Amino acid sequence: MTTASQPASKAEAAQTAEHRPAAGKIGVLLVNLGTPDGTDYWPMRRYLREFLSDRRVIEWPRAVWYPVLYGIVLSTRPKKSGAAYAKIWNRERNESPLRTFTRAQGEKLAAALAAQDHVIVDWAMRYGAPSIEEVTKNLIARGCERIVMFPLYPQYSATTTATVNDKFFETLMKLRFQPAIRTVPAYHDEPVYIDVLARSIERHLAGLDFEPDVLIASYHGIPQSYARRGDPYDRQCRETSRLLRERLGLSEDRFLTCFQSRFGPEEWLQPYTDKTVERLAREGVKSIAVFNPGFVSDCLETLEEIAVEASETFHEAGGQNFTHIPCLNDGEEGMRVIEELVRRELSGWA
């Protein structure tokens, strides 16, 4: 007969020892949205299936949504999305720019915290690889008894921050040993974030040979129904814009807030970026600049949808000068934001 404190066999004892974490380490886990493993049909289909099956992303009843997803979307969209990804693919590393930038952010944060040898930094993706479950289990196996988990979204939405939290907590539910955890909250109005964004905009504009008539802050959209049900994303995006506009000293007619990347038949947050860009050009605006303060790193939605598609729309409608201001990515200023927020959450632990 065995007891709770007495393993039934040597094999069980060895397994228990193998999964018992060493003491004293603190993990920091950076998590971004996700990325396909390739631009061909099947990698794109796997990625889109995981992403669009998430109940936080698509809130329609499954009986309504799944026939659309499996009957239409996953038959047609992988090819279209794959072609878009191919335009911005990091061919040197054979990966998406989002994976490249997120890895670099993890490596640079690890270097910044290197003096604290009991802190381990890693990164994961909500959809695709490396998965949250894989990396969380690895941090625990390396001795992390405490973990700071950082969803890399400045503005909170159930479609982004909440689903990252869900997956992280779901992983913990499968484990016998659970570390103490902290999650980094939204930072849409943090002074360091506003200051760094403003500086990056000013630096980019100073290097142009034209002065934009209008500056557009383009955020990823969500359905209006989500906002009506209490998602704070719309309010937080507009607060980020207000703080930035005041910091840059621009009038409301020279600094616009828009939303991009709508999907499906529902009404999404408005005004829409593509329609606004076209309208401005048709009204005689000759020069605009667009930036994406809701994205920590450049990705498909910024590099292809804005830098390529929005630029084409503006020029075709009669505009002359278009510039896309890059995201903060893994630059010195962007890392300053990440590091300051992580160090705050590590307070009392490290």
Q: pLDDT tens across 192-205, in order?
A: 999 999 999 999 99
HEC string of 41-71?
HHHHHHHHHHHHCCCCCCCCCHHHHHHHHHH
Other Cβ atoms within 10 Å of 266 Cβ, number: 13
pLDDT on residue 121: 98
- Does the domain spanning 191-325 belong to CATH 3.40.50.10490? no
pTM of the model: 0.91
pLDDT on residue 1: 38
pLDDT on residue 117: 86
Asked if 121 and 348 touch (Cβ cutoff 8 Å), the reply is: no
- How far apart are the C-alpha atoms of 20 and 78, rounded to whole Å? 42
- Residues of the chain with pLDDT below 70 are 1-23
User: Would you list the domain boundaries of the chain?
Assistant: 14-187+333-346, 191-325
pLDDT on residue 18: 43
Q: Thinking of the domain 14-187+333-346, which architecture would CATH place it in?
A: 3-Layer(aba) Sandwich (3.40)
Do domains 14-187+333-346 and 191-325 share one topology? The answer is yes
pLDDT on residue 23: 58
pLDDT on residue 264: 85
- How far apart are the C-alpha atoms of 166 and 110, rounded to whole Å? 25
